[in-house]
Structure 1
Amino acid sequence: MVTVLQILFVLALVILLILLVFRTRQAAVFILPDHYLDLLNDYVSFYAALDEDGKKGFEEKFQRFLSTVKITGANADVEDLDRVLIGAAAVIPVYFIPDWEYINLREVLLYPGNFNTDFEQHGRERTISGMVGSGGLENVMILSKWELRQGFIHAGSNRNTAVHEFVHLIDKMDGTLDGVPELLLERKYVGRWETLLEETMQDVRSGRSEIDAYAATSPVECFAVLAEYFFSQPETFRQLHPELYELMRRIFVRR
């Protein structure tokens, strides 16, 4: 026979569980810093150039990203500026793509500086500033805090490590990391896109192009390097590489 004391015990246990779940959910909510709009205007030239409606659209994508993806420091303090810049880098390449979600990303690990292929933060051969993980690090991105900030502080350059890594995630969304974002590029343009990537890599290798030398590494890296350039210096990119520019617009500007 169930006693009153047993009923009270069960009720207390249920209430305790409810409170624990509520506290966990509260802790998971990311609260934007009060000055995040100032940080966006000061550091993110892409955002600063938008009109008021455009900024609101950017902010909605920005807030949604930061509320769903965890950002963790690995021997690095994650400051407000870092969160804002990571959120901005996530939004920039998909700003014109309606309803985009990075379903292949759950966490960004922020390292203080560059790292090596064993993810070591000290020692020699630390040449990696960003990486999209695989295997045990599937759905994880690693970024150097130093390079993250440099990409936005030096907005006039055509390099932005964080944007570069988010473009890798976009490329990977079709199931293959190959430099061809088939979810976004119409099939009839794929062949020409692959040809342009190869031609660009050849031009970079032979010194006939001002595009960053890392583009010559592979079609995967070529696509990401071109995207950095496209979003950082669109007018220069359009003037010097008109056909690449038009195909990049077909990939990223869905309007």
Structure 2
Amino acid sequence: MIYIIITVIVLLIIYSSQKKENEKIVAENRIEIQEHWYTILEENVLFYQKLNEEDRLHFKKRIQSFLNSVEIVAVDFELEDLDILLVAASAIIPVFGFNNWMYPNLKTVIIYPDYFNENLEFAAKSENKIIVGLVGNGMFENKMILSRRALHHGFLNKTDKGNTGIHEFVHLLDKLDGNIDGIPKALIDNENLLQWLDVVHDKMEAINNDDSDIRNYGGTSKEEFFAVACEYFFERPMLLKRKHPKLYQMLQECFSVE
């Protein structure tokens, strides 16, 4: 009995020591915004460029919070500040209208240097490297994988209505209700769900009839339509408003954007 009590006490001491040490490590490794990061955001993130000074300050704080809650890991290359900031911007842009909201279903973002295949291979000799990003399940639950090449392209090309980083973070938002199905119940009121499905059906039909400027990939499934439409919404909002006013209005309400 005495042995058991001593063992329990020792384990409690070890647990307490490890907890304090972990808290110390977290405090020491806390990421602070670097002054030159402002220039990187200004030069590379159109969404940030369009913000007023007050919203820019809020955007920076949101980036800092994200980087202190999510680990970003590079595979086969060395992370640069631009990589880190583009991931963080991809995360914050869709939820900027939600006050201080963060992703409860994400712990790690893994960045590959190039496109990859279903076996997560990205080497030059690998075949079928067509995947630019994915939100993980199973052993990759709470993880996201992004192609560095695709991530950068999404911010470099400011007129193509596409952004891989935003696309994958929108999938995470879609997944908040447990399923990535293009029906984001956490974002759309129940009374508007049928209207949303009607819009999705009509827009997907137009895409598949080659009668839409929304990217073809949006016609493959409801979940991909939602992510593709959101890319369009955040990259070219005024164009979407002009060409697809009903879709624009629903996404505007969905993301609490004025």
Same fold (TM over 0.5): yes
Cross-structure match for 2:229: 226
Q: Could you say what secondary structure the match of 1:62 adopts?
A: helix
Pairing 1:45-124 to 2, within 5 Å after superposition: 45-122=46-123, 123-124=126-127
Shift of 1:20: 4.8
C-alpha distance in 2, partners of 1:117/1:53?
43
- 1:88 maps to a residue whose letter is A
> 1:7 maps to what in 2?
none
Residue identity (%): 35
Q: Which whole-Å CA distance do the structure 1 matches of 2:110 and 2:174 have between them?
A: 20
Aligned length: 243
**Is the Cα contact below 8 Å between 1:178 and 1:220 reproduced in 2?**
yes
Q: C-alpha displacement at 1:205, in angstroms?
A: 0.8
Match of 2:214 among 192, 211, 214: 211
Say whether 1:252 aligns with 2:255.
yes
Amino acid at match of 1:97: F
Deviates more, 1:166-175 or 1:32-41: 32-41
> Match for residue 128 of structure 2?
125
Instruction: From the superposition, tell whether residues 17 and 88 of structure 1 become closer, same or farther in structure 2 (CA, over 3 Å).
Output: closer
Residues 76-99 of structure 1 deviation map (CA, whole Å, 9 limit, x = unaligned):
221100001111110000001123
Q: Retained in 2: the 8 A contact 1:97–1:254?
A: no
Q: Tell whether the 8 Å contact from 1:33 to 1:80 is kept in structure 2 after alignment.
A: no
Tell me the CA shift for residue 34 of structure 1: 3.0
TM-score, normalising length: structure 2: 0.89
Match of 2:6 in 1: none
Counterparts of 1:164 and 1:243 in 2: how far apart (Å)? Answer: 20
Contact 1:156 1:232 in 2 (8 A): yes
Give 2:85's aligned amino acid: V
* Cα offset, 1:25, TM superposition: 2.7
Structure 2 residue aligned with 1:239 = 242
1:154 aligned to 2:139? Answer: no
Deviation at residue 196 of structure 1 after TM alignment = 1.1
Q: Specify which of 179, 185, 188 is matched with residue 176 of structure 1.
A: 179
RMSD: 2.0
8 A Cα contact 2:230 2:251, kept in partner: yes
Identify the residue that residue 25 of structure 1 maps to in structure 2: 26
Structure 2 runs not aligned, ≥5 long: 1-9
Task: Give the secondary-structure state (helix, strand or coil) at the position aligned to 1:35.
Answer: helix
SS at match of 1:68: coil
